[in-house]
C-alpha cells in the first residue's frame, strides 16, 4: 500500500477494514470446512505468511530466528492451538457466535499480564470476565441444541490467544515485530503438517473452488493483520479495538448472506454481554 494512500486512511478506517477482513476470513473458513480440514487451512495459511514474511526479514536485515527463541516458540505454539480451536469452532457455531467467543481473548490478556508481567489489572476486569462467561454460556445453550463442548473449545482458543498476546508483550523489547509474526506460522507449519497427514480426511484440494477458498483465507488473514497494525499505529488502542469489534457485526451479515443463519435472541444477548465486558476492559486500560 503506497505511503500517499496510507496517509489518506484514518486509524478508525483501517480498523474497519481489519474487522471486515477478519470476518470474511471466518466466513471462508466456515464455507470451506466441508471440503478442507481445519489443519490444511492452517498449513496453507502458514506457508503463505512464511513466503510473504521472509523477504521482508531479509530485505530489512532483521534476525529471522530472533533472540528469545524459547519465548518465540511458545508464542507460536499458543497461537497455533488457539487458531486450531477457533477454526474448529467456526465449523460448529454461527459465524458471529464463534467470532465473539474468540474475542474474549483481551480479558485473558489483561489477566495473564497481571499474573506474569506484573501489569496493573483494574478491579473491573473481574466483572468483565463474569459478563463474558455468562455470555458464553448463553451462546452455548447447555440444555438445548447447542453444545457446551463447542463453547469450551472456543473458550480454550480465546484463553490461548490471550496467552499468545502476553508473550508478544513480553517479546516487544527484545525482538522485532516481524520476527514475532514469523514464528507463528513457523511453529504452526510442522504441527499442521503432522495433523493433516494423520487425519483420515487429508487430501490435496482438487477444485478451483477449494483453492479459491484457501487463497481467500490466506489473503484476508494477512490483510486483516496489516490493517490492524496500521490502525493501532494511528489510533488509541481502546478506540481502535472497539471499532475492531464490528467484526461481530460483519460476522452476522456474512452468516445471513452466505449461510442463511443468524444467532437466536438468547445468543444475541450473550454476544451483547461479551461485547459489554470487552468494551469495559478496553476503556479501563
What are the residues whose beta carbons fall under 8 Å from the beta carbon of 203, sequence distance 6 or more? none
Which among 190-199, 251-260, 273-282 has the top mean pLDDT?
Answer: 190-199
Mean pLDDT, the chain, rounded, equals 84
What would the pLDDT profile of 140-175 be if each residue is shown by its tens digit?
A: 765 555 577 888 999 999 999 989 988 988 887 889
DSSP 103-130: TTHHHHHHHHHHHHS-----THHHHHHH
- CA torsion sign for 163, 167, 98, 125 is positive
> Whole-angstrom Cα distance, residue 147 to residue 167?
31
What are the phi and psi torsion angles at 7 (to 5°)?
-70, -20
pLDDT > 70 fraction of the chain, expressed in percent and rounded: 88
Q: Under a CB-based contact definition with an 8 Å cutoff, are residues 87 and 22 in contact?
A: no
pLDDT band at 235 (very low <50, low <70, confident <90, very high): low
With cut-offs at 50, 70 and 90, classify the pLDDT of residue 260: confident
- The average pLDDT across 227-254 equals 73
pLDDT digits (tens, 9 = 90+) for 71-111: 999 999 999 999 999 999 998 888 888 888 888 887 888 78
In contact, 231 and 12? CB cutoff 8 Å:
yes
Going by C-alpha positions, the residue among 252, 282, 275, 276 that lies closest to residue 101 is 275
Maximum alpha-carbon separation in the chain: 56
Cell 503432522 sits on residue: 194
All three cell numbers of 181, joined, read 509474526
Task: Return d(Cα 238, Cα 279) in angstroms, integer.
Answer: 8
- Cell reading at 190: 510442522
Q: What is the pLDDT of residue 86?
A: 95
Model confidence at 16: pLDDT above 60: yes
Q: How many helices (H) and strands (E) does the chain have?
A: 13, 0
Helix residue spans in the chain (DSSP H) = 3-8, 11-32, 38-59, 69-92, 95-102, 105-116, 124-140, 148-171, 177-198, 208-234, 237-244, 246-259, 265-284
Instruction: Look at residue 274 and tell me whether its pLDDT is greater than 60.
Output: yes
The C-alpha cell at 177 is 515485530
> Could you tell me which residue, 282 or 32, shows the higher pLDDT?
32
Residue 183 pLDDT level (bands cut at 50, 70, 90): very high
Nearest to 108 by CA among 89, 97, 121, 118: 121
- The answer to whether the beta carbons of residues 103 and 154 sit under 8 Å apart is no
With H, G, I as helix, E, B as strand and everything else as coil, classify residue 201: coil
User: Any idea which residue has 526479514 for its cell?
Assistant: 57
- The rounded distance, in Å, linking the Cα atoms of 283 and 106 is 12
- Segment 238-262 mean pLDDT: 76
d(CA 101, CA 201): 27
Most confident of 203-207, 215-219, 247-251: 215-219
pLDDT digits (tens, 9 = 90+) for 115-138: 888 777 666 777 888 888 888 878
CA separation for the pair 136, 141 (Å, rounded): 9
Amino acid at each position: 500500500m503506497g505511503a500517499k494512500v496510507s496517509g489518506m486512511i484514518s486509524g478508525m478506517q483501517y480498523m474497519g477494514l481489519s474487522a471486515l477482513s477478519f470476518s470474511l476470513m471466518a466466513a471462508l473458513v466456515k464455507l470451506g470446512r466441508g471440503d478442507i480440514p481445519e489443519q490444511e487451512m492452517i498449513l496453507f495459511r502458514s506457508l503463505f505468511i512464511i513466503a510473504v514474511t521472509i523477504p521482508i526479514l531479509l530485505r530489512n536485515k532483521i534476525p529471522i530466528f530472533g533472540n528469545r527463541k524459547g519465548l518465540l516458540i511458545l508464542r507460536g505454539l499458543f497461537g497455533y492451538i488457539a487458531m486450531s480451536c477457533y477454526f474448529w469452532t467456526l465449523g460448529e457455531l454461527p459465524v458471529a457466535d464463534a467470532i465473539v467467543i474468540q474475542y474474549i481473548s483481551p480479558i485473558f490478556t489483561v489477566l495473564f499480564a497481571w499474573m506474569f508481567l506484573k501489569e496493573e489489572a483494574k478491579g473491573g476486569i473481574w466483572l468483565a470476565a463474569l459478563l463474558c462467561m455468562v455470555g458464553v454460556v448463553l451462546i452455548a445453550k447447555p440444555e438445548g441444541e447447542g453444545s457446551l463442548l463447542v463453547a469450551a473449545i472456543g473458550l480454550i482458543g480465546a484463553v490461548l490467544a490471550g496467552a499468545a498476546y502476553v508473550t508478544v508483550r513480553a517479546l516487544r523489547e527484545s525482538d522485532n515485530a516481524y520476527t514475532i509474526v514469523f514464528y507463528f506460522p513457523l511453529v504452526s507449519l510442522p504441527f499442521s503438517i503432522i495433523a493433516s497427514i494423520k487425519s483420515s480426511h487429508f487430501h490435496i484440494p482438487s477444485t478451483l473452488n477449494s483453492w479459491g477458498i484457501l487463497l481467500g483465507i490466506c489473503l484476508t488473514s494477512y490483510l486483516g493483520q496489516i490493517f490492524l497494525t496500521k490502525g493501532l499505529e494511528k489510533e488509541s488502542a481502546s478506540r481502535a479495538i472497539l471499532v475492531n469489534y464490528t467484526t461481530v457485526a460483519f460476522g452476522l451479515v456474512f452468516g445471513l448472506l452466505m449461510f442463511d443463519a443468524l444467532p437466536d435472541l438468547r445468543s444475541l444477548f450473550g454476544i451483547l454481554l461479551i461485547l459489554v465486558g470487552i468494551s469495559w476492559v478496553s476503556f479501563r486500560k
